[in-house]
Chain A
Amino acid sequence: MSKLCSLKEAVAEYVSDGDLVYAAGFTHLIPFAVGHEIIRQGRRDLTLARATPDLIYDQMVAAGCARKIIFSYLGNPGVGSLRIVRSAIEAGELEWEEYSHYSMITRLSAGASGLPFMPMNLTAAPDLEKVNPNFRRVTDPFTGKEVMVVPPINPDVAVVHVQRADKFGNAQIWGILGEQKEAAFAAKKVILTAEEIVEETVIRSDPNRTLIPGFIVDAVCHVPYCAHPSYTQGYYDRDNTFYLQWDEISKTTEGVLQWLQEYVYDLQDHAQYWQKLGEETHQRLKVKEKLSSPINYGEF
């Protein structure tokens, strides 16, 4: 059965106030369009989980969508501080729960695998486990040594952006894989956005590239340029200029609110957002083709 729908419909149907949301993607494929749609639809009290909250959660926190944030690196990658989230934490206005990258994605892997917890080797760093009770030590029954364990995380909804998917939600990704697969398998509901919707035969022509099978996906939305100012490998480049600009925009509340008004609230959807960015930006983010060598699966 086709799961194609508009992003507006998907967010209305699958994202509720109070949900634990995981918008996946490590630098690559961050689903900004979905964050913006959640802002437009005025969701509240969300718990926002991501290894790197990035600008997408800075914007959602600024718009008042979040009650709590779960993260492992709170920065504007390569630029500096994530000003909105940081100041909300410093002001005591936002709850937070903190991990290292590895413990964060281990939680996600436990959730994706249906496990009650997952072990990790000890790091000797004493302080994070003191402030986060989700780090527990247990005795390895085989060696008698201590290991660290963390519980699963099972988001109410995961949002995953991909290069291409069919209408059933079978989805293919290349480039940085981040925690896309784990987030999708861990979540109760999955909203999938894709640069391109392709025929099932395209997916079946290269099954090794399929990271997410359609049966775990609830909604499939065709959203070109969904990841801007993040990027989609082979489709458009990361807008580093915007990441630098955000450092300026987010220095003041007025600056952020004005940006949200102009680029989110005043627009209907992501197609309008992309148009508004203008020709200069479109040209600047174009990528030159670099194809992989074809492989032979064999005809049987």
Chain B
Amino acid sequence: MSNPTYSKTELMIVNAARLLQDGDLVFVGVGAPNLACNLARRTHAPNLMMVYEAGVIGAQPARLPLSIGDPTLVSGATAVCSMYEVFSLYLQRGNVDVGFLGGAQIDRFCNINATVIGDYQHPKVRLPGSGGSMEIAAWANRCYIMTPHHKRRFPEKVDFCTSAGFLSGRAEREKSGVRGKGPQAVVTNLAIMKPDINGELEVTALHPGVELNEVQENTGWQIKVSSQLERTLPPTEEELHILHVELDPTGIYVN
């Protein structure tokens, strides 16, 4: 990395935060997505509303939550509802603008595997499974993925499709009739990739100091490159200050 003053994780968080819009209602996960939302709220998106799958609406966490059901999410929130309600009234009904997704594998068409490596019945590695992600990927208006860029994380096809990206291509997702528009961007420590017109990931921006061959070497298929390839701007002093001083002073996630 050319600039030593920020970590790979901070680079991902800052770039993910920039994708969020003011007024977005975001279904938040813990860790990096939580930091991205809080960063966006403190910069360009003060009216962003955070919803947690535990059933907390409009959370304003006073400390960095370790788990997705931390008590700090509740104190000072606008509403609390049951899990059934948050998934049905908020997510299934179509009230969620943005969902964050993660997984052990993300493939060429942005399908996500969070379930097993290897055979399902005799797993080589048993992963946590869907949690909320199967429905978030389907029903949130837009989804974003943050993940470190390693070849094993980006196979051409996932071992198990826990959450739908564009399946075998955008047409197949559209045919399925699910309401959400699917993944909009994958933010890694090397680059930003977005689905093209067919739902296939292509590199649309490189982070400062990163070259295309580095992205290709860490991707399990011949990755497409946008004809309008851009370069992301490095994290600003303000963004880093908010992350370091206000959001994660002990560096639990950003390091």
Contacts and interface: CB of A to CB of B under 8 A. Distances in A.
Centre residue among B83, B137, B164 by max chain A CB count within 10 A: B83
B214 interface: no
Given A27-B68, A175-B71, A231-B71, A86 B126 contact: yes
Given A27-B54, A28-B69, A176-B80, A101 B176 contact: no
B167 interface: yes
A131 interface: yes
B162 interface: yes
A126 B172 CA distance: 12
B229 interface: no
B92 A89 contact: no
B81 to A, nearest CB: 7
A146 to B, nearest CB: 8
A125 B84 CA distance: 20
Interface in A36-93: 51-52, 71-75, 77-79, 81-82, 86, 89-90, 92
A178 interface: yes
B23 interface: no
A106 B84 contact: yes
Contacts of A231: 71
B62 to A, nearest CB: 10
B177 to A, nearest CB: 7
Contacts of B133: 100
Interface centre among B87, B131, B167 (most CB of A within 10 A): B131
Nearest to B91: A102
Nearest to B81: A177
A290 to B, nearest CB: 6
Interface residues of B, number: 56
Contact of B71 (A77, A82, A102, A238): A238
Interface string A93-114: 0000011111101101100000
B67 A243 contact: yes
B164 A125 contact: yes
Interface string B121-147: 111111111111111011100000000
Contacts of B67: 27, 77-78, 238, 240, 243
A240 B126 CA distance: 24
Interface residues of A, number: 57
B30 A237 contact: no
A124 interface: yes
Given A27-B54, A78-B66, A125 B128 contact: no
B17 interface: no
B124 to A, nearest CB: 8
B161 interface: yes
A127 interface: yes
Contacts of B84: 105-106, 108-109, 179, 182
B22 interface: no
Interface string B64-84: 011111110111000011111
Contacts of A208: none
Interface stretch (A115-123, A153-161, A188-196): A115-123
A72 B82 contact: no
Contact of A100 (B68, B70, B82, B134): B134
B122 A73 contact: no
A53 B30 CA distance: 18
Most A CB contacts (10 A, CB to CB) among B31, B121, B177 go to: B177
Contact of A179 (B82, B92, B130, B161): B82
Contacts of B123: 89-90
9 contacts: A28-B69, A74-B127, A86-B126, A100-B133, A176-B56, A177-B80, A178-B54, A178-B83, A243-B66
Interface of B: 30-31, 53-56, 65-71, 73-75, 80-84, 87-88, 91-92, 115, 120-135, 137-139, 160-164, 167, 173, 176-179
A-B CB proximity, top 5 nearest: A27-B69, A73-B131, A123-B138, A100-B134, A124-B164
